[in-house]
Amino acid sequence: MSSIVGLSLSELLEGLERKTISAREATRAYLDRIAALDPRLGCYLRVDERGALASAEAIDAGRLRGEAVGALGGVPVALKDIFVTEGLETTCASKILRGWIPPYQGTPARKLAEAGAVLLGKLNMDEFAMGSSGENSAFGPTRNPWDLSCVPGGSSSGSAAAVAASLCAAALGTDTGGSIRQPASFCGIVGLKPTYGRVSRYGVVAFASSLDQVGPMTRTVRDAALVLEAIAGHDPKDATSLALPVPRYRDAVGRGAAGLRVGVPAEYFVAGMDPVVEAAVRAALGVLEGLGATLVELSLPHTKYSLPTYYLVAPAEASSNLARFDGVRFGHRSEGVRDLGEMYERTRAEGFGPEVKRRIILGTYALREGYYDAYYGKALRVRRLIADDFARAFERCDVIACPTSPTTAFPLGARAGDPVEMYLADVLTLACNLAGLPGLSVPCGFSPSGLPIGLQLLGPALGEEVLLQAAGAYEAATDHSRRRPPLG
């Protein structure tokens, strides 16, 4: 591995700022590694070599002239293909959007560019972010860099695998029910889902609008803090974005864990959980205690309803959001049809994959007249109870610690035939989204076969700093984040 791609984002940034590394050199190093390794991994749906080199050269020139080039000036990054990028095809890994070249720039992409980050390309994902393994991409699966026969998790599959394999210095993902944290856990990286509303979703293809949130996926906790600083903040183009100042998140990373009250929810250590995962997470709790934190046993009694609640709310909202993909304005349009109705029908039948169709059908059913109150309305009431559990818990603790996923990465194909089995991969990440809270996954160990395990930290609304503080202290006391997959 070339020395440049072996650096964390923060280390690379230091070299760029001291001018011992140029943005062009860093971009070239990542492009070369993508060319060498990505045919095996399937992280990228498209690489923008020309655009990346051109923006790297512009950053280098600006830096030589002494201009401010932004907080991430020259850092090569990549985006999940759900982020709208002006002039660069955006597909959500769906055939229905193939060929769509957005005429505008989404806010997360724009903010990264304004911070001087260099966009290497667009990353693979589960189609429309529906999935937990990356296998629902219409353009082929991504493989886990730690074991090519295993899935990287999903839906931000390409983002997690690319960061883990050093095919970019950082990536953005989206998290509606765990899609940043679960793949981060499966790939041994840091993934942070901010508070609902913390990051603008303008120019992020909507899945379930009351749950979707954008966040960083990085190799270290400090890197996640730097990226979050660059993308967070109010955006007049997203009515749900919070009009609050953005803290200097990096300052939280080195604060240590002394005095933190760490809640341990009984319901997150579920029967059927892989004992290797449980042992690693319990050991991590011990590390936090050793750093001066106090463990607080607590209960989140409505946790068991998260899965059914999420799988009503998310498909219901998806069925409405995805109505816009009908062949009229975006991407694929079926040819040789007799009338408009047939055009809609055939375009959608040809364009959407099986999981997306399943969600649209489930969601449409749940929203039908006469059923709304029994299903969607009830799910919203349960959602309130789940949020209330957390509100009570955070009266007694500063941060909650638990596993991110009940298992390590599973083999490709192992769950692909059974949707419910696949949905169970998210059982520990969904409540956080339903309550709108921030959550983070940080590497906390490896299985005997070398697959990563993630520690999940959950915080109160706008508690990103306490998550970064606890994760930063834990990371500094252990060496899991320094281990890299055996790819050469």
| Residues with catalytic function | 80, 155, 179
Q: For residues 10 and 159, which CB has a smaller minimum distance to ligand GLN in the complex?
A: 159
Least separation, in Å, of the C-beta of 137 and ligand GLN?
13
Least separation, in Å, of the C-beta of 433 and ligand GLN?
7
Q: Which of 131, 233, 363, 438 binds ligand GLN (CB under 6 A)?
A: 131
Least separation, in Å, of the C-beta of 357 and ligand GLN?
14
In the bound state, the residue with its beta carbon closest to ligand GLN is: 179
Q: Which of 314, 435, 458, 473 binds ligand GLN (CB under 6 A)?
A: 314
Q: For residues 22 and 176, which CB has a smaller minimum distance to ligand GLN in the complex?
A: 176
Q: For residues 38 and 175, which CB has a smaller minimum distance to ligand GLN in the complex?
A: 175
Least separation, in Å, of the C-beta of 429 and ligand GLN?
7
Give yes or no for residue 155 binding ligand GLN (CB under 6 A).
yes
Least separation, in Å, of the C-beta of 185 and ligand GLN?
13
Least separation, in Å, of the C-beta of 304 and ligand GLN?
17
Supply angle C-alpha 400, 404, 409, rounded to 5: 170
Q: For residues 27 and 306, which CB has a smaller minimum distance to ligand GLN in the complex?
A: 306
Q: For residues 178 and 233, which CB has a smaller minimum distance to ligand GLN in the complex?
A: 178
Q: β-pairing, 118-123 with 76-80?
A: parallel
Q: For residues 55 and 179, which CB has a smaller minimum distance to ligand GLN in the complex?
A: 179
Distance CA 93, CA 136 (A): 8
Least separation, in Å, of the C-beta of 369 and ligand GLN?
25
Least separation, in Å, of the C-beta of 323 and ligand GLN?
18
Q: Is the distance from CB of 351 to CB of 99 less than 8 angstroms?
A: no
Site for ligand GLN in 263-282 (CB under 6 A): none
- Enumerate residues 6+ apart whose C-beta is below 8 A from 208: 176, 177, 313, 314, 315, 316, 317, 318, 321
- Enumerate residues 6+ apart whose C-beta is below 8 A from 326: 343, 344, 347, 348
- Print the binding letters for residues 11-50 with ligand GLN: x by CB under 6 A, - otherwise: ----------------------------------------
* Sole window of 28-36, 128-136, 213-221, 337-345 interacting with ligand GLN (rule: CB under 6 A): 128-136
- Print the binding letters for residues 426-465 with ligand GLN: x by CB under 6 A, - otherwise: x---------------------------------------
Q: Is the distance from CB of 21 to CB of 12 less than 8 angstroms?
A: yes
Give yes or no for residue 207 binding ligand GLN (CB under 6 A).
yes
# residues near ligand GLN by CB under 6 A:
14
- Print the binding letters for residues 166-195 with ligand GLN: x by CB under 6 A, - otherwise: --------xxxxxx----------------
Q: For residues 52 and 129, which CB has a smaller minimum distance to ligand GLN in the complex?
A: 129
Q: For residues 174 and 185, which CB has a smaller minimum distance to ligand GLN in the complex?
A: 174
- In one-letter notation, the amino acid at residue 19 is K
Interacting residues with ligand GLN (CB under 6 A): 129-132, 155, 174-179, 207, 314, 426
